[in-house]
Structure 1
């Protein structure tokens, strides 16, 4: 299972425009609240900590229903600085069950979006929360704004039994991963893959194929996983995008994914789609994700 997918949450879109349904969910004795401190969760007994919902709370965003009970997350004020990922959060994500990781991703992305979008992008007036937390409305120009997802291509580029990996200077020592980049306006997935690989590594690719996707809540992206074939292995690394890049054979990838001593690189964490892409490439089977 790919990280941040398969949440057990029932979203209930048809109820978001119903104030009576929202009020009833708030007042439900079974309702629970997920509280994020600086966008990070509390963990109890290996799961996300949920507390009883206070109906008088004014900043609750309605996530949906979990195991038949209404679930809310505490909203946040306007963000004053970019939300960072702490080592503690990364460790927690590696230990939480997959459905809990997915639930956290939904809640984090929603809260973070509200924190960064307190004003109307059309006229600049302050907007207010509507639809139970799944939109904001501007009273000045009547524009509605919805939580956005930015498409990002992430690709395992192969050539002659090896895969192309790169690293950014902010990553832990030894960490390498598949290349990735945002899809630009007016661009197909295949075009974005080809452009990003050329820009970052100077490699021309062909035969791009889709493998799988992943919501990535840092802050709110849809990672579109692909495998592409390079026409030649020569690298011309863009020092602004990548600190380094290299070709790694299957034995090296297998050792890295297994966490073996002496592996040629530190693999991306198991909840990242890059890990799943490398596994799919290694196994030669898209179903491996």
Structure 2
């Protein structure tokens, strides 16, 4: 069986070169290099270049193109396509761009339309800038924090405290529950009509991933599950999640919502999905990947080749 390809936003898209984060001389040389790349992030939005229907990441080349940016606020990401690359957070009003083909867009919606390695890099940059922007003060004493190790550590400026903060992620489980012939999908009240997705929720302290799967499915649907198996993972920096994908088999199929997080939960057959009775998640999400793998395991035609399949509406590529 061939290895499963990585999910969107995952994979070996970057040499992180973590050993360089503490090497001040190497970092200064990278900043002085006019070929060094910078990934702009403005209000969590990524800088995107559109040429016709083709989307690519827009990079700023050379720090001289970023007047007024404090080098201490840059975040070293690593080496991308042979060049040093930093993330740079832009604040204030929307940046005025002279190139009409460049705009700041929501990466969550367009990641699947970008080259995979660029989507992963933009996600990394977005996650790091978000973490830095939301941890500007010490959680212990309230003093301002100061970046160090090329933006990968935030240290308290209070000499009596000097606590350190490191980039954080929030682990969340996401699961495709099946009884063999049907898949369990739910929807939130805020979603447009017809949209459904797999069951998901955050892992709680003192809880294993498998226990979190069982709990979340029970809380949101009332369904009991067994045979919880790991599938794959996906970075999901919206704002800071790591999605841990699972499949599970239902040993009790009656739906009884314990909480009100979901507006509706239903069992869907492959025929329902093929006929467009339900709108599936965006194709670059792990949720779609879980549904797709289950669907393809018991269908004569792959999900992506079914003409009647309905997906969440996204901007055209």
TM range (shorter): 0.7 to 0.9
Moved more, 54-63 or 262-271: 54-63
Among 59, 72, 82, the alignment partner of 2:86 is: 72
Aligned CA distance change for structure 1 residues 75 and 43 (closer, same or farther; 3 Å): closer
Q: Give the 3-state SS of the residue equivalent to 2:34 in structure 1.
A: coil
Deviation at 1:42, TM superposition (A): 2.3
Aligned residues: 272
d(CA) in 2 for partners of 1:90, 1:218: 7
Contact 1:77 1:115 in 2 (8 A): no
Among 95, 120, 124, the alignment partner of 1:102 is: 120
Aligned residue in 2 for 1:258: none
Q: Does 1:19 align with 2:39?
A: no
Q: Does 1:48 align with 2:66?
A: no
Aligned CA distance change for structure 1 residues 171 and 219 (closer, same or farther; 3 Å): same
Contact 2:42 2:89 in 1 (8 A): no
Aligned CA distance change for structure 1 residues 238 and 77 (closer, same or farther; 3 Å): farther
Q: Does 1:131 align with 2:154?
A: no
d(CA) in 2 for partners of 1:182, 1:92: 24
Aligned CA distance change for structure 1 residues 28 and 242 (closer, same or farther; 3 Å): same
Deviation at 1:125, TM superposition (A): 1.1
Deviation at 1:267, TM superposition (A): 0.7
Aligned residue in 1 for 2:36: 31
Aligned residue in 2 for 1:213: 233
Aligned CA distance change for structure 1 residues 61 and 160 (closer, same or farther; 3 Å): closer
Aligned CA distance change for structure 1 residues 51 and 30 (closer, same or farther; 3 Å): same
Q: Does 1:276 align with 2:285?
A: no
Listed one character per residue, the Cα deviations across residues 54-75 of structure 1 (whole Å, up to 9, x for unaligned) are 1673132111111111111112
Q: Can you give the 5+ residue segments of structure 2 that lack an aligned partner in the other structure?
A: 1-5, 93-103, 304-317
d(CA) in 1 for partners of 2:192, 2:111: 16
Q: Give the 3-state SS of the residue equivalent to 2:190 in structure 1.
A: coil
Q: Give the 3-state SS of the residue equivalent to 1:42 in structure 2.
A: strand
Contact 1:211 1:227 in 2 (8 A): yes
Contact 1:3 1:102 in 2 (8 A): yes
d(CA) in 2 for partners of 1:283, 1:151: 27
Q: Does 1:178 align with 2:198?
A: yes
Aligned CA distance change for structure 1 residues 77 and 43 (closer, same or farther; 3 Å): closer
Contact 2:233 2:244 in 1 (8 A): yes
Using the size of structure 2 for normalisation, the TM-score is: 0.80
Moved more, 88-97 or 176-185: 88-97
Contact 1:137 1:143 in 2 (8 A): yes
